[in-house]
Chains A and B, each alone.
Chain A
Amino acid sequence: MAREIPTALAINEALVIAMETDPDVILMGEDVAGGGTRAAEGTDEMGGIMGVTRGLCTRFGPERVLDTPISEMGMLGTAVGAAMTGLRPVVELMFIDFLGVCLDPLLNQAAKLRYMLGGKARVPMTVRTVTGAGMQSAAQHSQSLYWITAGIPGLKTVIPSNAYDAKGLLLAAIRDDDPVVFCEAKGILFDSADVPEGDYVVPLGSAAVVRAGSDVTLVGMGATVKMALAAAATLAGEGVSAEVVDLRSLAPLDEETVLASLARTGRLVVVDEATPRCGIASDVASLCVTKGFDLLDAPVGRVTAPHTPVPFSAVLEQAYMPSAEKIVAAVRALG
């Protein structure tokens, strides 16, 4: 039975199901319990920075829900070692910005072990991490660095836009035999949607058409999907029919769904919270011109953050982030 719950809770449910159905699944991270369970002292589990893992230590015990020191590199490296020897760790990297202190275990270990060992190793680990701006967390806690992991062969990267997909994608990620980076966009973490109670997966590598349309395709991911949907509603009032594609998975990328939508509309605007260079928006634009050139009736539009760090001031942060208004403007600019 489905009920409306926030994304954070849907992720918690996925973790519970994953841990109940597979004893090899363990959780690691800073504050995932927050000193374990200390009910006798009248304290509650912290459940990680966003409270997503609250209750799991009480339920599964401190042997499967491990509070780590603030040691991202050691923690991720340990997860790689555990994954290649038979566990299925889920690691919480508090913010994706912290890749700066722990990229090696992902870049040079997890991503490459299967290949370097001639296919004889597998690294079934999932890194859950918070991405994006919008909470005035400023330059070092607000980045959308999924383009880094999406660009590394051997890693998979997903970013749900809603609670339903979050639960299903996380279960698929945990059960996948390759390392997956699971991005929890701040902008949708506390939005609610209908989520079934039971066990289901949303396959990795599949995009979704979340609104059908015929005049223009808006491609979003994570928090930009709801911006695109809001823009589509505005455009509908102007007689423009916008189709919205939610990438859901950044690597692998579902090229087919994007190109099929472009074939229907002939126009495309990609909306990405990340900075404009070397990223997913560039990638989608490249896809359109290399494999969809004959389908294009206009240049590909892009709405991204500017090529700057994320500012602190709310007014600057709003100026920095994509928005429905910016998307509408970009569509109008296509002519």
Chain B
Amino acid sequence: MELTHEQLLVSYRTMRMIRVFEEKLHELVTAGKLGGFLHLYAGQEAVAAGVCRRLDERDYVATTHRGHGHCIAKGVRAKGMMAELFGRATGVCKGKGGSMHIADLDAGMLGANGIVGAGIPLATGAALTCKTKRTGGVAVAFFGDGASNQGQFHESLNMASNWKLPAVYVVENNGWGEFTPTAFVVPVPDIAVRATSYGMRSDIADGNDFFDVYEKAGRAIAAARAGEGPTLLECKTYRHYGHYVGDPLTYRARGEADEWRRQRDPLVRFEARVVGDGRVEAGELRRVDGEVAAELEAAVADAERDPLPEPAAVLEDVYGGE
């Protein structure tokens, strides 16, 4: 299915918003204006944008500590996210979650997660809901190469394949599990092969190519919707920043990130392709850049002004019916 002009612009907008959102966070944390541990998604935008472009309001996603991009791609608004990261009462989680637990159930976004691998069974459960209640929905678990070494990954894939759940497992292999190279702890070059032992389809996409992700995610999601069960989709990509903002980065060779930034930036590649094809004018993309920058600036300005939660709120939301 060919993307319309409008869909191309929306896809670009998603990736641009993720990029500038993450770069702004880097700037805010570095300047000491924002606390907490922030794991930036910059560099991997094509994965979240390419997969989520195939999803609709029936669908769910669950993600990881590196989850801002998936939130944005699934439709969570920057304003509520930024307020959350500033710990404001107006945050999408009322300031209770922060970066590692940011979520918006109204957008089908089940949450970032502070536990590596823990989002995978949550998406599996959401897929079980979709199947049991026959909603036609699909659940996508986004996780990293590191999580594919966790028991929750293997247990979930086995159950989902066995029960033919409408799930898609998107492993974003960015070459680094926290501070350790993936190849150091994963004895197979492609994590996708792990699907074989669960009788599950798998595919490998260039995670820095929006169109490759879009196509392969489309196949996986269509199969899930058609009742044909789950797929493990490996997207090979790279994180531009370190594990978290402020980590020493001494573990990574100097210049490694530069090469990915210069040669394989997903936004640059997207632009080269759509402008080269004559499907989009460069000027249209610059207009999107301007709109995104304005929305983000407004979100930051609002977040800086918004009220902090009342201290008594610490006791709220532990149980229902309060």
**Are A121 and B103 touching (Cβ within 8 A)?**
yes
Residue in A69, A77, A122 whose CB lies within 8 Å of B158? A69
Residue in A77, A78, A104, A113 whose CB lies within 8 Å of B111? A113
Majority secondary structure of chain A interface residues (helix, strand, loop or mixed): mixed
Nearest residue, chain A, Cβ from B124: A78
Nearest residue, chain B, Cβ from A109: B118
**Are B124 and A73 touching (Cβ within 8 A)?**
no
Q: A109 vs B126: C-alpha distance in the bound complex, in angstroms?
A: 14
A155 to chain B, nearest CB (A): 9
**Are A118 and B151 touching (Cβ within 8 A)?**
no
B 103-123 to A, binary, CB cutoff 8 A, 1 in contact else 0: 111100011011100101111
Residue in B91, B93, B129, B154 whose CB lies within 8 Å of A85? B129
Nearest residue, chain A, Cβ from B62: A81
**Are A115 and B132 touching (Cβ within 8 A)?**
no
The yes or no answer to A229 lying at the interface (CB within 8 A) is no
What residues of chain B lie closer than 8 Å to A24, measured between beta carbons?
Answer: 133
- List residues of A (70-84) whose CB comes within 8 Å of B's CBs: 71, 73-84
The yes or no answer to A117 lying at the interface (CB within 8 A) is yes
Nearest residue, chain B, Cβ from A101: B151
Nearest residue, chain A, Cβ from B163: A66
Q: A87 vs B78: C-alpha distance in the bound complex, in angstroms?
A: 29
Q: Which of B103, B154, B162 has the most CB of A within 10 A?
A: B103
B 158-173 to A, binary, CB cutoff 8 A, 1 in contact else 0: 1100110000000000
**Are B125 and A114 touching (Cβ within 8 A)?**
no
Q: Which of B120, B130, B133, B155 has the most CB of A within 10 A?
A: B155
What residues of chain A lie closer than 8 Å to B318, measured between beta carbons?
Answer: 114-115, 153-154
Q: Which of A24, A77, A79, A114 has the most CB of B within 10 A?
A: A77
Q: Total number of A-B contacts with CB less than 8 angstroms?
A: 156
B95 to chain A, nearest CB (A): 7
Q: A114 vs B92: C-alpha distance in the bound complex, in angstroms?
A: 13
The yes or no answer to A120 lying at the interface (CB within 8 A) is yes
The yes or no answer to B128 lying at the interface (CB within 8 A) is yes
**Are B319 and A78 touching (Cβ within 8 A)?**
no
B311 to chain A, nearest CB (A): 15
**Are A177 and B321 touching (Cβ within 8 A)?**
yes
Q: Check A74/B96 contact, CB under 8 A, given A81-B62, A178-B319.
A: no
The yes or no answer to A264 lying at the interface (CB within 8 A) is no
What residues of chain A lie closer than 8 Å to B118, measured between beta carbons?
Answer: 77, 104-105, 108-109
**Are B110 and A84 touching (Cβ within 8 A)?**
yes
Q: Check A74/B132 contact, CB under 8 A, given A81-B123, A117-B93, A154-B319.
A: no
Q: Which of A79, A114, A119 has the most CB of B within 10 A?
A: A119
Residue in A105, A112, A122 whose CB lies within 8 Å of B121? A105
Residue in B105, B151, B317 whose CB lies within 8 Å of A73? B151
What residues of chain A lie closer than 8 Å to B162, measured between beta carbons?
Answer: 69
The yes or no answer to B97 lying at the interface (CB within 8 A) is yes
Nearest residue, chain A, Cβ from B151: A73
Residue in B94, B106, B125 whose CB lies within 8 Å of A81? B125
**Are A71 and B316 touching (Cβ within 8 A)?**
no
**Are B121 and A77 touching (Cβ within 8 A)?**
yes
The yes or no answer to B156 lying at the interface (CB within 8 A) is yes
Q: A84 vs B121: C-alpha distance in the bound complex, in angstroms?
A: 12
Q: A104 vs B109: C-alpha distance in the bound complex, in angstroms?
A: 20
What residues of chain B lie closer than 8 Å to A77, measured between beta carbons?
Answer: 118, 120-122, 124-125, 152, 155-156
A sample of 8 cross-chain residue pairs with beta-carbon separation below 8 angstroms, ordered by A number, consists of A69-B155, A74-B159, A77-B122, A77-B124, A79-B125, A81-B127, A85-B130, A87-B125
For the complex with contacts A74-B151, A82-B129, 16 further pairs of A-B residues with Cβ separation under 8 Å are: A63-B132, A69-B158, A69-B159, A74-B154, A78-B124, A78-B128, A81-B122, A82-B125, A82-B132, A84-B105, A85-B110, A109-B113, A114-B320, A116-B101, A117-B93, A156-B319
